[in-house]
Amino acid sequence: MTSINLADRAVDLGEWAAATPQAADEFAAAVRTWLADNLVGEFADLKGRGGPGSEHEFFERRLAWDRHLAAAGWTCLGWPTRHGGRGATLEQRIIFHREYARANAPARVNHLGEELLGPTLIEFGTEEQKQRFLPGIVDVTELWAQGYSEPGAGSDLAGVSTTARLDDDTWIINGQKIWTSLAHVAQWVFVIARTEPGSTRHAGLSFLLVPLDQPGITVRPIQQLTGTSEFNEVFFDDAATDADLIVGQPGEGWKVAMGLLQFERGVSTLGQQVGFARELDNLVEVAKGTGAIDDPEIASRLARAGIGLNVMRAHAQRTLDRDVTSQAGAASVSKLLWANWHRDLGELAMDVVGAPSLIGPDTTVEGQVNDITDPEHVELDDWQRLFLFTRADTIYGGSNEVQRNIIAERVLGLPREAR
């Protein structure tokens, strides 16, 4: 694919953003029309494909779809136009995510770059870093992975032990990261490493940008309950990256990492909730078809799921409107709400489907991107995959226990947990 001219794109889309604001319904109609006109032909059967637990599905074709979005100016909507974004308002970004989810468009492959690293570089990076990396995120020619969790420090980011030392003009990195989503298809990884010997906890950490295709890095996919492998463990054995590929100053890694996590739980969560609503609606239809809806307990659990979805939506709106005491606390509440709700929906789905939920169809995975998973394994149906993968929802991205500690200690001011 020919690389997008970001300067031209910024001018065109900048004029669009600076014009008299379109009414919300007009903008929504424009998004709907474009999606309807483009989710056809080679992209038609990508609807509903991909996402957590299903990242193996049609990966290369979903990558082509992301690049198609980029060419039309639908990536990095909220970024400033000078960095290749669309300069969209908060309302427009919410509308886009909502309409994208309603169209059942395929899961994006560039989330870590577009929603996490890009905004972090815009906030904390040097001009040279922005010029080097932002264009590849906008046109989806470079994919990113996140090197945070470690075997001994899963949700406790301050406990990382991966080290990096500066040797002339190069950082030399040693250690291991785990649960690294999509590292096997990414070209780069942003890494939190300890750069000050003898430092502990939040001090002495740095945020580094590291190329994955080098002799000092080994990426090993981890097979999941679903039989697929979108998480990985990544080993750094004297891996190298240039001295100027540090975001912020040495020792400021914690500040940069926390800034990134705020971006992680932003506008895109509203689109996520539209997907959740579709799952719930589909499950209600299954319950009607199987007769499970006539069970008072099942009916009550479905009703409670609907209430929980409304609570999530209200919290997200308050957070985006900054109508909260602590943004850190709001992000933790958001994670607790959606992770536990989604896990419970998976359990409810098994009860609604009943005995057939224990039997899988005799098919194989199509579009698998990694070669460590047995290509002959039995594929799961949507409800089985939902149940199995959502067991991890309350762990990845910060476990329930860590989120509750954040709320207790940083928001409510309760005594710190004994270590």
* Domain range list for the chain: 13-108, 144-252, 265-412
For the domain bounded by 265-412, which CATH number is listed? 1.20.140.10
Pick the CATH number of 144-252 from 3.40.50.10420, 2.130.10.10, 3.20.20.70, 2.40.110.10: 2.40.110.10
The predicted pLDDT at position 57 comes to 81
- Active-site residue among 233, 264, 279, 379? 264
- Among 352, 347, 375, 373, CA closest to 363: 375
Tokens 């309302």, residue?
91
Q: What is the per-residue pLDDT across 246-269, written as a single tens digit (0 to 9) for each?
A: 999 998 888 888 777 766 556 656
Three-state SS letters, 248-316: CCCCEHHHHHHHHHHHHCCCHHHHHHHHHHHHHHHHHHHHHHHCHHHCHHHHHHHHHHHHHHHHHHHHH
**Cα 287 from Cα 294, distance rounded (Å):** 8
Please provide residue 294's backbone torsions phi and psi, each rounded to the nearest 5 degrees: -80, -10
DSSP helix, strand, coil percent of the chain (3-state; round to 5)? 50, 15, 35
Cβ–Cβ < 8 Å for 162, 178:
no
Cross-strand pairs, 193: 206
Among 166, 208, 173, which residue's Cα sits nearest to residue 190?
208
At 267 the pLDDT is 62
The alpha carbon of 68 is separated from its chain's Cα centroid by a whole number of angstroms, namely 20
Tell me what pLDDT residue 367 has: 44
Q: Which fold has domain 13-108?
A: Butyryl-Coa Dehydrogenase, subunit A; domain 1 (1.10.540)
Residue 144's SS3 state is strand
Tokens of 121: 């570089």
Please provide the size of the chain in residues. 419
Residue 165 in tokens: 């030392």
- pLDDT (0 to 100) of residue 340: 95
**Is 264 an active-site residue?**
yes
Name residues of the chain where pLDDT drops below 50: 1-21, 323-326, 363-378
- Give the C-alpha separation, 10 to 257, whole Å: 28
Quick check: 140 and 188 in contact, CB under 8 A? no
